Amino acid sequence: MDNTAQAIALEMLQSNLKLPPFPPIGSQLLAMNHQPIQEVDVDQFIRLIESDMSLTTHLLQLANSAYFGAIQKVSSLRQAIMHIGLEESINAINLHFFRTILPEFPRIEGFSGKDFWAHSWACGMANRMLGRPDLHIKSIPGELYIAGLLHGIGKLILALTRPEEFLQCIENSSSYNQPIVEAELDLIGTTDTDIAFEVLRSWQFPESICMAVKHYREPEKADKTFWEIAAVTQFAYFIANTSGIGNAMDFYAYDLEQTWLGRDLASPLADEAIRNRVVQDIYETLKKKFAAMSDEKKADTDKGSGNVSPKPGKSGTKPPPSKKKISWLARLLSLFRFR
């Protein structure tokens, strides 16, 4: 049992900027994610969205966006779901829901809430896309998506409750090519994954999602029942971290060949040719969706930057803030420290 992780999670849950109790609508969304997509009751999903004006507005705006290219205005939720697709609709509602209920990520030099959620989205999407029978993956794609989407909420909590230490963890990850969780363990005595586990468990999330988030860094430490979902989430995290989308605040040079699935000879992903093809397909899908859903100004900026698609397994992230800037920012972010 990790007492430090429990203490930090409890501090966040009880603070002035506390995490809210998990809303009933969230439990209903989780129940839908636990089902194979072909078994989801569309009428029940529509009733669920109708119960929350924010979710209703979001889905209708999405259906009428340039990305989905509606010829005529979409005015009903059923039309929106038919136009967007059920799986895409559920993904969008989950992302909007969790961005709404979780605190805003504090501004850090080189990072932002937009970076955080873009990376979280990429990890969730990659995780769901890996949930394929031809890859011998039996985990439910909806649960894979949620595990990927929420894998990093422990970093959000550390940024809010331990800003100085967390900034130093980022610096150490960059300076020493150290996984962020190792830097956290050295400086804080626990990891963002353990903190996320405590929060999700307090919200009574399914054990499979809690264990995936807790053990995706080292799937072999999970109970055998949860090896697969933790291993797939690890693979998705490595893809997201090398995709160029968002920022995980983790500067370690990850190699997909060294993941659990990359080393498991029973997994198709241990075959280099298959692995590269799958990863490249996911990169291209993520890049296309992310570019399309970004605003025009952002798209124009990216177009002029000369960015190219990363090669599978090659890590590339933004340079971290300098030590001098970290000291200044740490003092600024200490305003977020809870008493």
Query: Distance between CA 63 and CA 79 in Å, rounded?
Result: 8
- In Å, how far from its chain's centre is CA 21? 20
Per the CB < 8 A criterion, the answer to whether 95 and 118 are in contact is no
- What pLDDT shows up at residue 126? 98
Query: Distance between CA 287 and CA 281 in Å, rounded?
Result: 10
Per the model's pLDDT, the better-predicted residue between 252 and 122 turns out to be 122
Which among 333, 294, 330, 235 has a CA at the least distance from the CA of 117?
294
- What pLDDT shows up at residue 98? 93
Residue 197, Cβ density class (10 Å: 0-12 exposed, 13-18 middle, ≥19 buried) = buried
- CA dist 179 to 72, 156, 216, 237, 251, Å? 49, 17, 13, 12, 7
Numbers of helices and strands, H then E, in the chain: 18, 0
CA angle 79, 85, 89 (to 5 degrees): 90
- What pLDDT shows up at residue 213? 97
Neighbour tally for 44: CB within 10 Å? 11
- What pLDDT shows up at residue 267? 96
**DSSP assigned state of 256:** G
Phi, psi angle pair for 48, to nearest 5°: -65, -45
- What pLDDT shows up at residue 5? 67
pLDDT at 287 over 70: yes
pLDDT at 327 over 50: no
Query: Distance between CA 213 and CA 38 in Å, rounded?
Result: 25
pLDDT at 284 over 90: yes
pLDDT at 43 over 50: yes
- What pLDDT shows up at residue 325? 37
Query: Distance between CA 332 and CA 108 in Å, rounded?
Result: 10
> Mean of the pLDDT values across residues 127-143?
96
List pLDDT tens digits, range 44-94: 999 999 999 999 999 999 899 888 877 789 999 999 999 999 999 999 999
Domain locations along the chain? 20-101, 112-295+308-336
List pLDDT tens digits, range 245-281: 998 888 888 899 999 999 999 999 999 999 999 999 9
Please give the model's pTM, rounded to 2 decimal places: 0.82
Per the CB < 8 A criterion, the answer to whether 239 and 283 are in contact is yes
Per the model's pLDDT, the better-predicted residue between 318 and 255 turns out to be 255
Q: Could you tell me the two tokens for 175?
A: 């300076």
3-state DSSP assignment of residue 108: strand
Confidence of residue 326 (pLDDT cuts 50, 70, 90): very low
Per the CB < 8 A criterion, the answer to whether 286 and 243 are in contact is yes
Per the CB < 8 A criterion, the answer to whether 184 and 143 are in contact is no
Neighbour tally for 305: CB within 10 Å? 8
pLDDT at 331 over 80: no
Per the CB < 8 A criterion, the answer to whether 187 and 132 are in contact is no
Per the CB < 8 A criterion, the answer to whether 48 and 92 are in contact is no
- What pLDDT shows up at residue 318? 44
> In the predicted model, what is the mean pLDDT of the chain?
83
Query: Distance between CA 75 and CA 310 in Å, rounded?
Result: 39
CATH code at 112-295+308-336 = 1.10.3210.10
- In Å, how far from its chain's centre is CA 181? 16
List pLDDT tens digits, range 184-231: 999 999 999 999 998 899 889 999 999 999 999 999 999 999 999 999
- In Å, how far from its chain's centre is CA 4? 23
